[in-house]
């Protein structure tokens, strides 16, 4: 009997192992079929964007806010030459973060700290503003702490004087989230505030010992500095009575010094556009020259990384170009393989339908930019799963005043989107099933809010992602037209190992699959259709919808 039991256990174990190998074989097969499409996407991206080739084992997907925070603190504690942090703001209660920066600067006399933040968000009135909590660092290390505050030029004239703090951020912010120390970088959508370190779901991708990528991120921030205000303690600042500092000002304990006396802060558009396009072109040319010289590593265990800048007000729209490119290639692939739209075949004729690509997309502030909506609606050959924040998981839920209506406003925008989805499904459905390729769910977890954003593209529903978009963009009108964003597209080559091996690329793909799975653990069916939206909220959305 004991021998029989052992035999059954062994047979079950073998069956499970066989099943895992079979699933991995199926995933590998789908990935290899998809590889020509991925090759075409990356080949065209390479013509327009800077490109980095990075070992897959130098990339790690962090999964929890606490892991992001502890990793960032440990990076700072080991800093040798430079710390460069870009965020919307630093939270008023981040004493441990400030103390950790202070201690490391005291320990390393050659260490420099560079901060690039949003001016409007960082100077909200009050004793605990971001600007105020940074003053001790500036006073202790005046020659080694460099704080730049970017202010969008969109808000100008009389409006700049009458729009109150907090609401002035609606005209544009500095939104890039880059956290670098020496040659290590974390790219995220999270800000440097307590909830982002504890109970606000986001994405965090860490790159270790990647000098070229780190230099790119550092140089990108330096490129913005001439269009920003420099933050200084007021006691260390004297503003002469001449035109040199006519755009600078002293605000209580701190001073805001405008960096370019030759250019009005409201008229930086042309210079900013030229700087960003030149910066991207220079970095793209740099890689091309290195590639010709045979210097970059193009190992099969390397992934390809493309930085994407979106700054609509400065006429830099690389994210939009990426989406057009991506769906263009997916459409070509569907035409070659003939993937009919979901619901277009009668019952019992599904066997001719090949495996479809799966796109997972998410945004904590889901109101897809209209050109993106059209791409999703007009490409039914791609399965799409969208995760949005439920009203309770929206960071503005329960806020006093008009901002408390923001979650309701997103419900209204989701309702409009889903009506468009259903209309499109009916149009594509030859046999009238009305089945859509787009599924919208909502994320909700007790005591948590939701801020994750980006997309993952998989060859099929049973395979792991081979491409992901991550960074600061929320994929909405605000990100496209108003804020300044930096995101990255990462493409993974097919695994060259056997189905039973664990090579670094396959491990990274599995990390991305787990990232999606962790998010979807707290997903529920979308309930927006059953929620009532008040007429005043609809009016507000009509007036300021692009600022959401």
Number of residues that this document lists for the chain: 548
CA angle, residues 491, 495, 498, in degrees to nearest 5: 170
Outline where DSSP puts E strands in 56-103.
59-62, 82-86
Cα dist from 87 to 110, 125, 175, whole Å: 24, 19, 6
The region that residue 434 occupies, defined by phi over 0 for left and psi between -120 and 50 for alpha, beta otherwise, is: left
Residues catalogued as catalytic: 175, 177, 182
Q: Phi and psi at residue 476, in whole multiples of 5°? A: -115, -175
Q: Is residue 366 a contact partner of residue 413, using CB atoms and an 8 Å limit?
A: yes
Bridge partners of residue 258, in order along the sequence: 229
Beta carbons of 515 and 401 less than 8 angstroms apart? no
Of 224, 222, 194, 203, the closest CA to residue 118 belongs to: 224
Report the chain's C-alpha Rg in angstroms.
25
How many alpha carbons fall within 13 Å on the CB side of residue 521? 10
Q: Under a CB-based contact definition with an 8 Å cutoff, are residues 488 and 305 in contact?
A: yes
Q: Report the relative pairing of strands 453-458 and 358-363 from DSSP bridges.
A: antiparallel
> Which residues have a Cβ under 8 Å from the Cβ of 371 and sit 6 or more positions away?
320, 323, 480
d(C-alpha 64, C-alpha 198), whole Å? 8
DSSP-H helix ranges across 118-170 = 119-122, 130-140, 157-162
């Amino acid at each position: 009997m004991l021998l029989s039991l052992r035999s059954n256990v062994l047979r079950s174990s073998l069956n499970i192992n066989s099943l895992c190998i079979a699933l991995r074989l199926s995933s590998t097969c789908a990935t290899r079929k998809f590889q020509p499409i991925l090759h075409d996407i990356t080949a065209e991206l390479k013509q327009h964007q800077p490109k980095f080739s990075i070992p897959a084992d130098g990339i790690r997907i962090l999964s929890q806010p606490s892991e992001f925070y502890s990793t960032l603190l440990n990076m700072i504690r080991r800093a040798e030459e430079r710390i460069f942090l870009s965020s919307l703001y630093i939270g008023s209660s981040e004493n441990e973060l400030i103390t950790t920066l202070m201690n490391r600067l005291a320990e390393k006399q050659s260490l420099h700290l560079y901060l690039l933040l949003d001016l409007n968000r960082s100077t909200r009135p009050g004793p605990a503003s971001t600007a105020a909590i940074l003053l001790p660092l500036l006073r202790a290390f005046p020659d080694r702490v460099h704080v730049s505050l970017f202010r969008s030029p969109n808000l100008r004239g009389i409006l700049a004087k009458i729009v109150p703090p907090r609401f002035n951020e609606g005209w544009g912010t500095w939104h890039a989230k880059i956290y670098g120390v020496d040659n290590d970088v974390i790219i995220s959508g999270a800000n440097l505030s307590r909830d982002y370190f504890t109970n606000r779901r986001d994405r965090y991708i860490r790159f270790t010992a990647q000098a070229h990528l780190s230099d790119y991120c550092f140089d990108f921030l330096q490129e913005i500095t001439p269009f920003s205000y420099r933050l200084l303690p007021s006691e260390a600042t004297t503003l002469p009575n001449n035109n040199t500092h006519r755009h600078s000002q002293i605000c209580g304990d701190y001073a805001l010094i405008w960096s370019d006396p030759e250019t009005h802060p409201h008229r930086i558009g042309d210079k900013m556009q030229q700087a960003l396009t030149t910066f991207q072109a220079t970095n793209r040319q740099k890689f091309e020259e290195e590639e010709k010289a045979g210097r970059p590593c193009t190992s099969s265990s390397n992934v390809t990384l493309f930085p994407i800048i979106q700054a609509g007000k400065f006429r830099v729209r690389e994210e939009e170009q990426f989406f057009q490119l991506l769906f263009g290639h997916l459409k070509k692939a569907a035409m070659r393989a003939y993937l009919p739209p979901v619901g277009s075949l009668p019952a019992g004729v599904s066997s001719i339908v090949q495996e479809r690509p799966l796109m997972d997309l998410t945004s904590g502030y889901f109101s897809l930019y209209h050109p993106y909506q059209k791409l999703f609606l007009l490409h039914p050959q791609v399965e799409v799963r969208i995760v949005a924040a439920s009203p309770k998981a929206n960071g503005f839920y329960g806020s006093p005043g008009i901002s408390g209506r923001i979650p309701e406003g997103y419900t209204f925008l989701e309702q409009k989107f889903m009506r468009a989805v259903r209309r499109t499904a009916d149009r594509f459905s030859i046999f009238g099933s009305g089945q859509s390729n787009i599924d919208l769910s909502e994320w909700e977890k007790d005591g948590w809010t939701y801020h994750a954003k980006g997309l993952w593209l998989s060859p099929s529903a049973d395979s792991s992602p081979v491409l992901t978009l991550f960074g600061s963009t929320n994929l909405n009108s605000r990100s496209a037209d108003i804020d300044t964003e930096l995101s990255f597209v990462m493409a993974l080559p097919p695994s060259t190992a056997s189905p039973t091996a664990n090579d670094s690329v396959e491990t990274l793909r599995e990390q991305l699959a787990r990232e999606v799975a962790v998010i979807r653990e707290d997903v529920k069916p979308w309930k927006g259709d059953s929620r009532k939206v008040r007429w005043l909220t609809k009016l507000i959305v009509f007036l300021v919808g692009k600022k959401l």
